[in-house]
Amino acid sequence: MKKKLRYGIIGAGGCGASKHLNSYSRLSDDVEIIAVCDIIADRADAVADRFNAEAAYLDYQEMLEKEDLDFVSVATPNHVHAPATIAALQAGCHVHCEKPASLTAELVQDMVEAKNKSGKKLMIGLNNRFNNWAQLSKKLVDAGRLGEIYHAKCGWKRRRGIPGKGGWFTTKAQSGGGPLIDLGVHFIDVSNYLMGFPEPIAVSGQTYSKFADGQPFNPRASGYTGTYDVEDLAVGMLRYANGCTMQLEFSWASNIDEEYTFVELYGDKGGLAYAKDKLTLIEDFEGNILKSNPVLAPDENWGNVESRHFVECIREDKEPIARPEEAVIIMKIICALYESAELGREVIL
């Protein structure tokens, strides 16, 4: 019988417990949950108990030194992703690190270099790539059904949805920014993935912070200091070396009718639009417009598919779908948009 993989987690908050530990605990033929680390002692103990882990730690360095782990998840606030991931890779672990990979492209590049040096796997938690609509869209694009893609749009807009207001999510030094880095990372990633990662060459955008005072703060948020120094809306436009362009729009709070996410791809042979869980394909056939809505199988739980894929990658020595090398490009785009908003002009990459 194959030996179970010894697993530990760094960061046992909402995502660590509900996505990572829940999904890895379902893979009990393959994975043994050994240790839980969180800087909040009660949380580390309670989560370790809940998932029958052998040990709870307050310090990830200590956990990595004492436990002989095969792989770890990193589900901490964003500013801890790079140091914890690099430490885990150097300790000989494969790493499943949450999105956004880190705060800057340089830090994500350091993570890629640590991964290459260690010979271990590193996957970023970009779960939207695993959705049925995204996988079918990728096949349609790769089969040439859209022809040349010359423009794209993507966004995720919330009416009222600021996470942990006053905690680490709304503190730039810990999160790197607001909805652009938090939500934007998902849909900028999936759009670029579908387009085959053309080279971005210029970004211009604007950010707004209009809801810092409007909604109640949440003193129970992790890392609460009452800080709100990030945007709540980011809009932008990107140019790629192949002539393609992309418009983006991400908000945590806006006065809109309802929350929605969307990706639109404009090709010279066809177009694809994903919105409100529906995928629409438009094609030109001898001057006639054909419109189809593929019947998509319901998505399996987002964490389960991703975690099962990562275990498969470790077991079968495969490259993960969500590669950190591509996360470097996504982070370049995000940081350039923040820079453009600060400078008030287009930024050339």
Ligand X SMILES: NC(=O)c1ccc[n+]([C@@H]2O[C@H](COP(=O)([O-])OP(=O)(O)OC[C@H]3O[C@@H](n4cnc5c(N)ncnc54)[C@H](O)[C@@H]3O)[C@@H](O)[C@H]2O)c1
Interacting residues toward ligand X by CB under 6 A: 10-16, 37-40, 43, 60, 75-78, 80, 98-99, 125, 127, 182, 222
Decide whether 13 or 236 has the Cβ nearer to ligand X: 13
| Contact residues for 119 (Cβ-Cβ < 8 A; gap 6+) | none
186, amino acid identity: H
Least CB distance to ligand X at residue 131 (A): 11
Q: Pick between residue 80 and residue 279 the one whose CB is nearest to ligand X.
A: 80
Outline where DSSP puts E strands in the chain. Answer: 5-10, 31-37, 55-57, 71-74, 94-97, 122-124, 149-157, 200-208, 233-240, 245-251, 260-267, 270-275, 278-285, 288-292, 347-348
Distance separating alpha carbons of residues 194 and 197, to the nearest angstrom: 8
CB of 9 to ligand X, least distance (A): 9
Question: Do 38 and 12 touch, CB atoms closer than 8 A?
Answer: yes
HSE of 252 in the Cβ direction (CA atoms, 13 Å)? 26
Report the distance separating Cα 16 and Cα 222, nearest Å.
13
Q: Which is nearer to ligand X, 5 or 63 (CB)?
A: 63
Q: How far is the CB of 81 from ligand X (least distance, A)?
A: 6
Find the shortest distance in angstroms from Cβ 50 to ligand X: 14
Q: Which is nearer to ligand X, 218 or 280 (CB)?
A: 218
Shortest gap between Cβ of 44 and ligand X (angstroms)? 8
Nearest approach, Cβ of 233 to ligand X (angstroms)? Answer: 18
Written in H, E and C, the secondary structure of 102-153 is: CCCHHHHHHHHHHHHHHCCCEEECCHHHHCHHHHHHHHHHHCCCCCCEEEEE
Instruction: Name which of 79 and 120 has its Cβ closer to ligand X.
Output: 79
Which position's Cβ is nearest ligand X?
13
Smaller CB separation from ligand X, 125 or 155? 125
